[in-house]
Amino acid sequence: MLKTRILTAAVLLPAVGALVLFAPAWLFTIVNAIAGIWGLYEVAAMTGALHWVALPLFAVVGGVPLLGLLYGGDTGWVGWLVPTLVILMMLGLALRVELNGGGEGLRGPRLVFIGAAYVGVLFPFFALLRNSPDGIHLLLLVILLAVASDSGAYFTGRYLGRTKLAPSLSPHKTVEGAVGGLIVTVVGAWLLFKMIGGTWDMGKILLFAAMISILAQLGDLAGSALKRAAGVKDSGWIFPGHGGLLDRTCSLVFALFFAYYWFR
């Protein structure tokens, strides 16, 4: 399993990097649309809604905002309000799963609706951020900070973790790990901007990095809640050894939405 994970990462990371750096905006948008459709498929498979009766729900709740945001921008009825409501729904789901001690009894139309909205409304921010002015650098920055947060939380939790953060959602996550991830992200952002000579105010740098770390960790917990409620271990199988697309992106979607509006 470890060998499979390493090989998959060795192929996946350069491919994603090349796509972010060199793909024209129209191609990146198409890839984002395909990824969003696949994400909706994973939600349907997880929630047991992979049948004709559920297709209209996925098309309206997931497909319409996905394509509308990608090809029409974030104006009109979507703006920042609908994504914020979707994030709150996901966090509410995470809180309910944690308080209930698991996701039993949460499957049904409501979970399908939340999952479809999660993908359809939040996935387009990959392309919205990347295709915005200076968006390539901003997307890479968010990814780097999210990776720093995840790595800092993992290693801090592994060696210092004692207090469980959300045992029903993610048994291995600890409060110490979450704090460690936050600190590593903030320090990493400070060092990065020192090296490249960034022009931001230092307070703004630290606040942005802290928010990315917090949202990355909340996004990871929300993704875990969706899987727990659906009763599955992984969201899919598209990345051997790593699970599905939603498994690999859950720590990014909240952060990307925040970063997009932060820089507007």
pLDDT for residue 3? 47
Residue 10 has pLDDT above 80, yes or no: no
pLDDT for residue 11? 53
pLDDT, tens digit (0-9, with 9 covering 90-100), for 150-172: 999 999 999 999 999 999 999 99
Residue 7 has pLDDT above 50, yes or no: no
Q: Which residue has the higher pLDDT, 121 or 52?
A: 121
Count how many domains the chain has: 1
CB count in 10 Å sphere of residue 86: 23
Ramachandran sector of residue 195 (left: φ over 0; alpha: ψ -120 to 50; beta: rest): alpha
Q: Where are the beta strands (DSSP E) in 24-183?
A: 164-166, 170-174
Residue 259 has pLDDT above 70, yes or no: yes
Whole-angstrom Cα distance, residue 176 to residue 161?
5
Q: Which residue has the higher pLDDT, 111 or 2?
A: 111
pLDDT for residue 84? 94
Give the closest residue to 252 by CA, choosing from 210, 214, 208, 219: 219
pLDDT, tens digit (0-9, with 9 covering 90-100), for 214-245: 999 999 999 999 999 998 988 988 877 778 99
pLDDT for residue 105? 66
pLDDT, tens digit (0-9, with 9 covering 90-100), for 181-195: 999 999 999 988 877
Which whole number is the average pLDDT over 123-145? 94
Range of the domain at 243: 2-262
Which whole number is the average pLDDT over 196-211? 83
